[in-house]
Homo-oligomer: A and B are copies of this chain.
């Protein structure tokens, strides 16, 4: 099977390895026919910019960079040069994986160009690594779709380590230089939200969960949950309350947040306590997870022994109550667009010194 080692078609943003403080839009600059992926804030460590070819970029760009190094191997194992001329089988052509280069001497192997045969893959990977070492390259990124799981042990045997995985692929990396690997890690935090919903009668919306440790049996708590992939904190809180209790709400602000480490899979956890304004009253319980839900007088909620007996619970509730008394300033959310990424992001900050302020201070 003819194996082309380079391709001029465009590659989706999801193929890009994007590092640094933010990478909201994969395209920020078009330069010399090659679109450059950039961060607008750097971070300590390696700032990786992956350059890639678009459909408007001819093979010429790639050829001009690597022509003497790339070769195409056809089904008959004859080595053919990129320009179509065949070479003597005795000519030593270097076989190199089809890959992107970045400006930090990194290499991003193209997953769509991987040879599925483990032996072929092993051979090409080995020669590619030698080539990249000679070229002074540093980090190598190898994304293996789950359909090519047979290549995983091959890559590991060559010295690759796991970086991260999602259901459909595993990403492996190889750090060429001596010394510690400078490639950045993957996501480190799970994020959850809790909704503090209080009505005009000074009753707080609470739930009892179906599944909880016996130590918490009988505890009435705020509705809580993880936000979904790419979900906003301010919509996630509203969603969780709706799902668990059937109550419609609107987001007011982030009152406080908690940060804890060494939770699921050794990662960290950020939990945002959100003030929500109720828009309905009728409770409909999600009986998959929730045993019961109700509007409970605030005083009764606070005075539960399990709340009073735990510093964390008590502190969080005290903060929520302070917010009710207007002697507290939470962080309200605002959508702001940056010209550098061209997209809207959510900025949570205090609005104090205006007529709309939730915070009157003292």
**B-contacting residues of A (Cβ < 8 Å)?**
13-14, 17-24, 28-29, 31, 36, 38-45, 47, 49, 103-104, 146, 149-150, 152-153, 156-157, 161-171, 184-192, 194, 209, 211-216, 221, 224-227, 229-230, 232-233, 240, 243-244, 255-271, 286, 289, 309-313, 315-316, 319, 322, 327-331, 334, 336-341, 343, 345-350, 352-353, 357, 359-362
Copies in the complex: 2
Given A168-B162, A186-B187, A359-B361 in contact, is the A225-B258 Cβ separation under 8 Å? no
Q: Determine which of B21, B259, B349, B362 lies in contact with A361 in the assembled complex, contact meaning CB atoms within 8 Å.
A: B362
- The answer for the CA separation of A22 and B211 in the assembled complex, in Å, is 14
A227, chain B: closest CB distance, angstroms: 8
B353 touches A322 (CB 8 A): yes
Q: Determine which of B13, B157, B187, B264 lies in contact with A189 in the assembled complex, contact meaning CB atoms within 8 Å.
A: B187
Across-interface contacts of A215 in B (CB, < 8 A): 28-29, 38, 40, 340
Residue of B nearest to A316 (CB): B347
Across-interface contacts of A262 in B (CB, < 8 A): 13, 24, 230
A244 touches B352 (CB 8 A): no
B257 touches A22 (CB 8 A): no
A312 touches B337 (CB 8 A): yes
Residue of B nearest to A37 (CB): B213
A358, chain B: closest CB distance, angstroms: 10
- The answer for the CA separation of A120 and B155 in the assembled complex, in Å, is 22
B347 touches A258 (CB 8 A): yes
Q: Determine which of B19, B24, B269, B353 lies in contact with A21 in the assembled complex, contact meaning CB atoms within 8 Å.
A: B269
